[in-house]
């Protein structure tokens, strides 16, 4: 359900994954991340789509995990 998924603003997503706003918008246009528009028209990115494995064809991977 959408209400259960955490979202971030474009600026927050940029900071989290270390990319530019343009890159986030390119990912949106390319279907690489999922997003929703708020009632006010703002774009919110679903956090879980920022961390998908790119080999699965979904979206860029996040930073490497410390093991």
Which domains are delineated in the chain? 2-56 (1.10.1660)
Confidence of residue 30 (pLDDT cuts 50, 70, 90): very high
Average pLDDT over residues 14-39: 94
Mean pLDDT of the chain: 81
Q: What pLDDT is attached to residue 31?
A: 93
Average pLDDT over residues 41-62: 72
Bridge partners of residue 36, in order along the sequence: 44
**Cα-Cα-Cα-Cα dihedral of 14, 3, 60, 39, to 10°?**
-50
Average pLDDT over residues 5-32: 94
Indicate the pTM of the whole model.
Answer: 0.69
Average pLDDT over residues 33-46: 95
């Amino acid at each position: 359900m959408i209400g259960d998924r955490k979202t971030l603003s474009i600026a927050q997503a940029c900071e989290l994954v270390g990319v530019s706003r343009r890159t986030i918008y390119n990912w949106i246009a390319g279907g690489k991340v999922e997003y929703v528009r708020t009632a006010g028209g703002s774009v919110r990115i679903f956090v879980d789509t920022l961390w998908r494995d790119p080999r699965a064809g979904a979206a860029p991977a996040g930073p490497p995990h410390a093991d």
